[in-house]
A and B are shown apart, each in its own frame.
Chain A
């Protein structure tokens, strides 16, 4: 089965450190989404790309978060500097057009 690969699976870091999460979408999928999930907020859309172009990152705190797709096989989400309130599970998902999304297993981030 084709799958979306996310790294790292778990990350514990200290406040102020830079965190980079990576995602390898399914080959051939042209849409990539980044979501953040917490118990309080559920799944929040942070940013999404179509054909590697950013379409909407309005859900992302611009001062500390950035999302990029340097090539079709890699999407990154960076937090600099990280804060305790960033602690969450970050999911990457890929798809084609209006079709269903396939999610990665998520990156669990803990900022102390």
Chain B
């Protein structure tokens, strides 16, 4: 079983739609959590951190459920520019912090 699992998609949604991605992690020792975004043929870049209390950044909302070992990302009012792969990321404390990436969920937003 992979340490971080995501639905690979693709998710095809029209502009203006609300879309949600989920991610589960297997190691209960996971310490911190993030969502990264990766555009085609580019490097991953941080989208937002994920906190137990939930956090919002404009149209993006991230949630963490430690009991269920589950992370989510909600995108409201989707834009064409949101088309990308969204990577769920977990930091494990193992001597130093070991950063594990999910395989990503691909999103296509259509006009």
A interface residues (Cβ-Cβ under 8 A, vs B)? 31, 33, 35, 41-43, 45, 48, 50, 55-56, 91, 93, 95, 97-98, 100-101, 103-106
Inter-chain residue pair count (beta carbon < 8 A): 53
Q: Given the interface contacts A103-B43, A103-B45, A104-B43, does A42 sit within 8 Å of B95 by beta carbon? A: no
CA distance A104 to B103 in the complex (A): 18
Residues of B within 8 A of A43 (CB): 44, 87, 101, 103-104
Main secondary structure of the interface of A (DSSP, over half): strand
Question: What are 30 A-B pairs at a CB distance below 8 A?
Answer: A31-B97, A33-B99, A42-B101, A42-B102, A43-B87, A43-B101, A43-B103, A43-B104, A45-B99, A45-B101, A48-B98, A48-B99, A50-B95, A50-B96, A55-B95, A55-B96, A56-B94, A56-B95, A56-B98, A91-B43, A93-B99, A95-B99, A97-B96, A97-B97, A98-B93, A100-B34, A101-B46, A101-B99, A103-B43, A105-B43
